[in-house]
Amino acid sequence: MSSSSEALVLEQFAMRQQANWPTRYRRGLWRFITTKPLGAIGGAIVILFLLMAIAPGLFATHDPNPTPNPILERLQGPSANHWFGTDQFGRDLYSRIVYGARTSIIIGFLVVFVSATLASLIGTVSGYFGGWFDMVMQRLVDIGIALPGLIFIILVVTTLTNFPPAFISDPLHLAPSGRVVFRIAVALGVLVSLSSSRVIRGAAISAKQNMYVEAARVVGATDGRIIFRHIFPNVFAVVLVSASIQIGGAILTESSLAFLGYGVQPPTPSWGRMLNDAREQLTRHPHLAIFPGLAIFLAVFSFNMLGDALRDVLDPRLRGSR
């Protein structure tokens, strides 16, 4: 076969592959929905919360912080005008839950970004080099894991009042509550990265045993090239699954901090802060705690179910499990 004929065949094959991409995508999505129904449900709920965080005005029915506060409408139960009722200041509880999703989702994704970056760096490098370097890194990880997590985060939030610095906070337009969110995300991301790095380290140790890694060394590839071209692509699935599960834990931790009074400050809506405000009215007006608690449960449940499904799909050893 001539070179021109080979080129024509290759071009036609590439065009067919490109044309079939939407079909393969639809089939893959349908296969995921049918084999992992809980993961699909979790993914749908995650998409809903993401839309709420991006465009809360499309979902909210009232201003979450009306001025002045409608005191005459305070502590009303669910109704046609206020779907989830009102709080002690007369504010619409449903709208505040919608806007509170932004705080939780932002913290969740910031935590994942920080933890995935640090865990990938620590785990991949430590697992690849091994020896004394790996031993030192793992002892440092042990020390970090031994720290009481909640106390560490509270110390970071309350003491590093000027973090992030002005050259970061000003371009991002971080209000005082925004800077608190940033501090929570960084502190929690560092803690979460320590335990995640061990999982990634194990995957990196397994990946470096492959023959193509040894072949890359033989042809003179540098350690950096081997790590980024051969090791990291093999541990990326582990990073992705770990990140999807960590978002749920980050949302739960942020809600716990807000409940204790160390999260975002009023009047910024926060699910944990709503639970804190509902304590004194819990017996007489239980809706104040039921709906924010349900939002936290759905967010954590959806991210965990999606993470479990992604783990089953991306891990060859678990494919076909339910």
Residue 55: CATH number of its domain: 1.10.3720.10
Predicted confidence at residue 269, as pLDDT, reads 85
219 inside domain: yes
* Domain membership flag for residue 61: yes
DSSP type of residue 222 = -
**Shortest CA distance to 124 belongs to which of 207, 59, 40?**
207
How far from the centroid of its chain's Cα atoms is residue 136's Cα? 29
In the prediction, which pLDDT does 98 show? 92
Is the pLDDT at 5 greater than 80, yes or no? no
- The residue among 129, 116, 128 whose CA lies nearest residue 237 is 116
Beta-carbon count within 10 A of 88 CB = 15
Reference 33, options 284, 309, 266, 273; nearest CA is 309
**Beta-carbon contacts of residue 256 (< 8 Å; ≥ 6 apart):** 150, 272
Nearest Cα residue to 194 out of 143, 238, 131: 143
Quote the pLDDT of residue 314: 67
- How far apart (Å, rounded) are the C-alpha atoms in residues 234 and 175? 40
Residue-wise pLDDT tens digits, 69-94:
777 788 888 888 889 988 888 889 99
DSSP secondary structure string for all residues of 140-155: HHHHHHHS-HHHHHHH
Model pLDDT for residues 187-210, shown as the tens digit of each residue: 888 888 888 888 888 888 888 888
Residue with the larger pLDDT of the pair 8 and 199: 199
Report how far residue 311's alpha carbon sits from residue 237's, in angstroms, rounded to the nearest whole number.
Answer: 8
Report the SS3 class of residue 265. Answer: coil
> Cα(256)–Cα(167) distance, rounded to whole angstroms?
30
Q: Averaged over 245-253, what is the pLDDT?
A: 83
- 58-62, 120-124, 140-144, 147-151: lowest mean pLDDT where? 147-151
Q: Which pTM was predicted?
A: 0.76
Q: Is residue 275 part of a domain?
A: yes
Where does residue 79 fall: left (phi above 0), alpha (psi -120 to 50 degrees), or beta otherwise? Answer: beta
- How many domains does the structure of the chain reveal? 1
Give the model's pLDDT for residue 25: 62
The pLDDT confidence band at residue 176, using thresholds 50, 70 and 90, is low
Report the C-alpha gap between 135 and 205 in whole angstroms.
14
Using DSSP's 3-state secondary structure scheme, residue 1 falls into: coil
The answer to whether residue 6 scores a pLDDT higher than 60 is no
CB 76, CB 151: distance < 8 Å: no
Q: Which two tokens stand for residue 44?
A: 């749908």
In a domain, 100, yes or no: yes
Residue 310 structural domain: 46-66+77-318
pLDDT above 50 (res 33):
yes
**Residue 39 maps to a domain:** no
Q: Can you say whether the dihedral through the CA atoms of 179, 184, 189, 191 is positive or negative?
A: positive
> What amino acid occupies position 13?
F
Position 101 in a domain: yes
Does the residue 15 lie in any domain?
Answer: no
Q: What is the largest CA-CA distance in the chain?
A: 85
> Residue 110 in contact with residue 192, Cβ under 8 Å?
no
How far is it, in rounded angstroms, from Cα 131 to Cα 75? 63
> Does residue 9 belong to any structural domain of this protein?
no
